[in-house]
């Protein structure tokens, strides 16, 4: 669309919105102007603030913009602009009262750096899980011989120089918006996003090899082909959240479009919040050995609790073979 036409449409929309606002407030400029320079027309400035039709000599106030360049501002403050005597708006607009809610302070940048560090460690620990499974299943290497310190080094130490390099790049090239915003064309964030993408691609290769070995073992068994494919699909779905393959769907920020930004933010927030929940459910609470151990623990607690009931209840005849009263224990000892 032509920029001039777009600006005209925005100004028309601004005029309609302000006319409705002024009618509801019961206030407006004089309908019968006495001269050609008695008022200033409705206009839209470069920031996007809509200035209403106002009488000449008036100092007009409008709420501060909610967002500008990715920074949120305090909308309870006002911006000021003067309508000059010749019926034109002053070129200088007073936005000095508009203060950002989040300033570019050192502690804010530190929090952003720490946040991105833990984001990177999250993906590198997914890589550690992929290495462990790939080594145990595909390479048939004994997991007992794997060094724990190596996994700790990969998960916690390798992200450190990556985030340090990203922080240096932000300080020199994008030292604004608390290091959290991203302008189109800026590539500094790819300093830490690049290794994350590489980790996800390697985990995808690990997943492919693991499923391939699983299918080979299933075909060697006597089970039907339908059951084989069902088990393979189940194993694939279980490994997806563990290896972080789901992040490959929406990993790169789509851009400045509002709808795509909202979908990107909500999708990634859901994955980051519930990934641990899904992994714990699939690998812990749905595991047969874990459920068997929990049932044994529960029965042991029930048996222990039944032996600590009050004396009046302990003297009663036991109604269940798993519940033994103190009276029956004493009789057995006497015999």
Which of 28-32, 153-157, 181-185, 304-308 bottoms out in mean pLDDT, i.e. has the lowest?
A: 28-32
Q: How many domains does the chain have?
A: 3
Same domain, 73 and 204: no
Q: What is the pTM of this model?
A: 0.60
Which residue in 28, 71, 76, 22 sits closest to 47, CA to CA?
71
Per residue in 142-178, pLDDT tens? 667 778 888 999 999 999 999 999 999 998 888 877 7
Structure tokens at 11: 């100004």
299 in a structural domain = no
Same domain, 76 and 137: no
34 in a structural domain = yes
Mean pLDDT of the chain: 77
Same domain, 131 and 276: yes
Same domain, 112 and 240: yes
91 in a structural domain = no
Same domain, 115 and 241: yes
| Residue in this structure with the two tokens 């609470």, named with its chain if needed | 285
Phi then psi for residue 272, to 5 deg, are -65, -30
Structure tokens at 7: 């600006």
Same domain, 8 and 116: no
Same domain, 205 and 331: no
Domain that holds residue 204: 106-286
Average of per-residue pLDDT across 222-245: 75
Q: Which residues contact residue 308 at a Cβ distance below 8 angstroms, ignoring those fewer than 6 apart? A: none
């Amino acid at each position: 669309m032509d920029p001039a036409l777009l600006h005209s449409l925005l100004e028309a929309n601004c005029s309609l919105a302000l006319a409705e606002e002024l009618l509801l407030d019961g206030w407006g400029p004089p309908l019968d102007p006495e001269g050609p320079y008695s008022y200033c027309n409705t206009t839209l400035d470069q920031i996007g603030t809509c200035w209403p039709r106002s009488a000449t000599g008036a100092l007009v106030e409008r709420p501060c913009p909610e967002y500008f360049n990715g920074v949120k501002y305090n909308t309870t403050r006002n911006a000021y602009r003067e309508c000059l005597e010749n019926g034109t708006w002053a070129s200088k607009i007073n936005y000095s009262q508009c203060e950002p809610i989040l300033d570019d302070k050192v502690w804010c940048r530190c929090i952003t750096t720490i946040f991105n560090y833990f984001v990177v460690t999250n993906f590198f620990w997914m890589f550690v899980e992929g290495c462990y499974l790939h080594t145990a299943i595909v390479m048939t290497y004994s997991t007992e011989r794997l060094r724990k310190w190596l996994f700790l080094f990969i998960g916690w130490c390798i992200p450190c120089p990556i985030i340090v390099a990203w922080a240096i790049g932000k300080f020199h090239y994008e030292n604004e918006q608390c290091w959290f915003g991203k302008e189109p064309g800026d590539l500094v964030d790819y300093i830490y996003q690049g290794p994350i993408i590489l980790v996800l691609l390697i985990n995808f290769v690990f997943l492919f090899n693991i499923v391939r070995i699983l299918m080979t073992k299933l075909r060697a068994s006597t089970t039907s082909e339908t059951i084989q494919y069902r088990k393979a699909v189940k194993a694939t779905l279980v490994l997806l959240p563990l290896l972080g393959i789901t992040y490959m769907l929406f990993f790169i920020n789509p851009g400045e479009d509002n709808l795509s930004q909202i979908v990107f933010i909500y999708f990634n927030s859901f994955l980051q919040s519930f990934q641990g929940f899904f992994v714990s459910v699939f690998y812990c609470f749905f595991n047969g050995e874990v459920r068997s151990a929990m049932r044994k623990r529960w029965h042991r607690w029930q048996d222990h609790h039944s032996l600590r009931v009050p004396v009046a209840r302990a003297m009663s005849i036991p109604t269940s073979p798993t519940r033994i009263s103190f009276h029956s224990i004493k009789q057995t000892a006497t015999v």
